[in-house]
Structure 1
Amino acid sequence: MSIETLGIDIAKNVFQLHGVNKAGRAVFKKRVMRDQLLQVITRIEPCMIVVEACTGAFYWARKFEELGHKVKVISPQYVKPFVRRQKNDGNDAEAICTAARQPHIPSVPKKSIEQQDIQALHRARQRMVNHRTAVVSQIRGLLLDRGFAMAKSITRARRLIPEILSDHDNELTPLAREAIAELHDLFRDLDRRIASFDKKIDAVFRQSESCQRIAKIKGVGPKTATAVIAAIGDGSEFRNGRHLAAWVGLVPRQFSSGDRTTLMGISKRGSQHLRSLLVHGARAVVRTAPNKTDPNNQWVNQLRERRGFNRATVAVANKNARIIWAVLHKGEPYRAAF
């Protein structure tokens, strides 16, 4: 039995294995429990192991590589078309194996432990930010119900909520005041926790030479730089900068047929968090460009006049993604084109 490609359908406790030889013929099928998986993989000669990108995929990828195997991680969206008949673990493992053997199927960049640590910081911080937004919205709604209108701004909320709570001559009842005060305490606690995560991300940024190189690009700050490193590492999984921009979802979707080419809105594929950071950074570049006269900002201003603010923002984000790939791939410092 010679296995060339081994597809593994990863789950929490049960794992389905499907191995094929060079001719694509199935030569190995096995269903194992979590505590048996590494023992089974140890007895298999080194081959290409393929898993879907999911929770735990990168952990198992590192374990399999330690045993001498090559590992490929592919996106579930490329596996689904190859699932035959009914969906079950056996068919899923077979589909993973079949998809991995297609020459045009891209792989997902593997993540090291350090990259996953940085990603954990970003995900935890984003969770806190979402909670803070929800708390402020609820406070704003409760105050509006009592006749206090407040603009949608975190800065104004920090200033106005304490003023309203400290004014005992307004129409807030004691019970409403206590409820809103508790929510305000939660709001302040979330602020403190977010600031703590910001310090940790800044510390990671200062210790990473790659982060500091790409942070010299206009529109890329510490949070964007660390998120990029956590997502793509050195960018070696991408053929070029355009490939990275497409993976992030900063290129138009197509609906073309024959000689008719139709371009739609951006595809919004890949990491939503990374795309948001790139777009927010680009928005700052476009917003401040009218006050500057250097060639790069003149290009941004001309683009804004032709296509509008939003399209110019996405174009700058796309360009920054391509520049980031070039800086990481070549290992050289960023040099402005103008």
Structure 2
Amino acid sequence: MSELATVGIDLAKSVFQIHGVDESGQVLVRRQLRRGQLLAFFQKRPRCLIGMEACAGSHDWGRRLQEMGHDVRLMPPSYVKPYVKRQKNDGNDAEAICTAVRQPHIPLVPKKSVEQQDIQALHRARQRLVNHRTALVSQMRGLLLDRGIAFAKSITRVRRMIPEILARADSGLSTMARETIAELWDFFCDLERRIEHFDKKIEAVFKSSEPCQRVARIKGVGPKTATAIVAAVGDGSDFRNGRHMAAWLGLVPRQFSSGDKAVLMGISKRGSQHLRSLLVHGARAVVRTAPNKNDPISQWANQLRERRGFNRATVAIANKNARIIWAVLRTGDQYRAAA
């Protein structure tokens, strides 16, 4: 009797669809399982290849199934979609996952440990508060602009100007408007306090992680970028080289090529927007301060800025940093800047 060789699981909140085949591709199982039945189904079965789309809960299920001895692989949903036959439903989705995971060319999503997910949770929670703070600042600026009070967009300027406006009796604000801005300012201060709390947590993670400290030696990479990258890619073993990691982060050109005509466009912007933003922000600081420095990276950034402009030089530095980060994580060596 044939045994299961490959299983595709379509994950959901309560009901999971599985599609299993043997070595020859013959369908052996196609059924639904409740959440409490999934682990029991695989508990006593021989080791098999299990494919899942990377989504909420996939890393947790992947760890549990790996502990049973199974080979679990997570795939980007966009690479599974071409294998969906006919109508879209749970059964066809599970079959598509089962088919896709057997293909040798399908890129895999790096599996994360509990510690990596904890660090990612810190970053995501902090970014949520930062987004709220940005929206709140925009609202306060808009409300004050309606009363003829304008000031720059800088967050530093907001911290200085709002208390001054509220303290001045001749600011032109009515009692109700002053109370409204005061409540928003109080909310802003609360967000600042919470963001500072997450900053301290991330700093503590950085100080306790040797890989993060090695990565942070790279010019344009700080504690936040280092912890976010290490939480996302681990030791970088899921990528064949640094360019693959840069492509995973969306820092390489999109192609629109045909025949002998190769057309390269702007960066693909694939992968994590948060990681890409951190690398680009760090690279922007490198390019901005490069004219005052004489090290090789700064000289290269200056030449690139003169030829291609500030923004392209920034992305090029971000791409280079992504490749260097991969090399530092894979080799375990300290970063050594070019002399």
Same fold (TM over 0.5): yes
Normalising by structure 1, we get a TM-score of 0.99
* Matched-pair contact (CA < 8 Å) for 2:212–2:230: yes
Question: 2:307 aligned with 1:306, yes or no?
Answer: yes
Provide the secondary structure at the position in 1 that maps to 2:248. Answer: helix
Q: Aligned-pair distance for 1:41?
A: 1.4
Provide the secondary structure at the position in 1 that maps to 2:265. Answer: strand
Amino acid aligned to 2:67: E
Provide the secondary structure at the position in 2 that maps to 1:155. Answer: helix
User: How many residues are matched?
Assistant: 338
* Matched-pair contact (CA < 8 Å) for 2:296–2:338: no
Partners of 1:20 and 1:331 in 2: CA distance: 40
Q: What pairs with 1:284-299 in structure 2 (closer than 5 Å)?
A: 284-299=285-300
Q: Which residue of 1 aligns with 2:246?
A: 245
Q: Aligned-pair distance for 1:336?
A: 1.4
Q: Aligned-pair distance for 1:49?
A: 0.8
Question: 2:282 aligned with 1:264, yes or no?
Answer: no
Provide the secondary structure at the position in 2 that maps to 1:197. Answer: helix
Q: Aligned-pair distance for 1:264?
A: 0.4
Provide the secondary structure at the position in 2 that maps to 1:92. Answer: helix
Q: Which residue of 1 aligns with 2:330?
A: 329
Structure 1 unaligned runs (5+)?
Answer: none
Q: What pairs with 1:195-274 in structure 2 (closer than 5 Å)?
A: 195-274=196-275
Structure 1 runs (4+) deviating above 2 angstroms are none
Partners of 1:320 and 1:149 in 2: CA distance: 39
Deviates more, 1:185-194 or 1:162-171: 162-171
Q: Which residue of 2 aligns with 1:22?
A: 23
Provide the secondary structure at the position in 2 that maps to 1:51. Answer: strand
Partners of 1:209 and 1:230 in 2: CA distance: 13
Question: 2:115 aligned with 1:119, yes or no?
Answer: no
Provide the secondary structure at the position in 2 that maps to 1:318. Answer: helix
Partners of 2:62 and 2:302 in 1: CA distance: 46
Amino acid aligned to 1:127: R
Amino acid aligned to 1:132: R
Q: Which residue of 1 aligns with 2:91?
A: 90
Q: Which residue of 1 aligns with 2:181?
A: 180
Partners of 2:338 and 2:12 in 1: CA distance: 48
Deviations 1:121-153 (A, max 9, x none): 000000000000000100000000011011111
Question: 2:147 aligned with 1:134, yes or no?
Answer: no
Amino acid aligned to 2:90: D
Identity value in percent: 71
Q: Aligned-pair distance for 1:34?
A: 0.4
Question: 2:39 aligned with 1:38, yes or no?
Answer: yes
Deviations 1:274-318 (A, max 9, x none): 000000000000000000112221111001101100000000000
Deviates more, 1:311-320 or 1:28-37: 28-37
Deviates more, 1:6-15 or 1:295-304: 295-304
Partners of 2:120 and 2:56 in 1: CA distance: 13
Q: Which residue of 1 aligns with 2:145?
A: 144
* Matched-pair contact (CA < 8 Å) for 2:215–2:226: yes
Partners of 1:201 and 1:177 in 2: CA distance: 36
Provide the secondary structure at the position in 1 that maps to 2:235. Answer: coil
Deviations 1:216-247 (A, max 9, x none): 00000000000001100000000000000000
Amino acid aligned to 2:194: R
Q: Which residue of 2 aligns with 1:73?
A: 74
Q: Aligned-pair distance for 1:25?
A: 1.8
Normalising by structure 2, we get a TM-score of 0.99
Q: Aligned-pair distance for 1:170?
A: 2.4
Q: Which residue of 2 aligns with 1:58?
A: 59
* Matched-pair contact (CA < 8 Å) for 2:250–2:268: yes
Partners of 2:312 and 2:278 in 1: CA distance: 16
Provide the secondary structure at the position in 2 that maps to 1:229. Answer: helix
Amino acid aligned to 1:165: L
Partners of 2:228 and 2:191 in 1: CA distance: 21
Deviates more, 1:17-26 or 1:261-270: 17-26
Partners of 1:337 and 1:101 in 2: CA distance: 43
Q: Aligned-pair distance for 1:260?
A: 0.6
Provide the secondary structure at the position in 2 that maps to 1:27. Answer: strand
Deviates more, 1:112-121 or 1:163-172: 163-172
Amino acid aligned to 2:54: A
Q: Aligned-pair distance for 1:20?
A: 1.0
Q: Which residue of 1 aligns with 2:11?
A: 10
Partners of 2:335 and 2:295 in 1: CA distance: 17
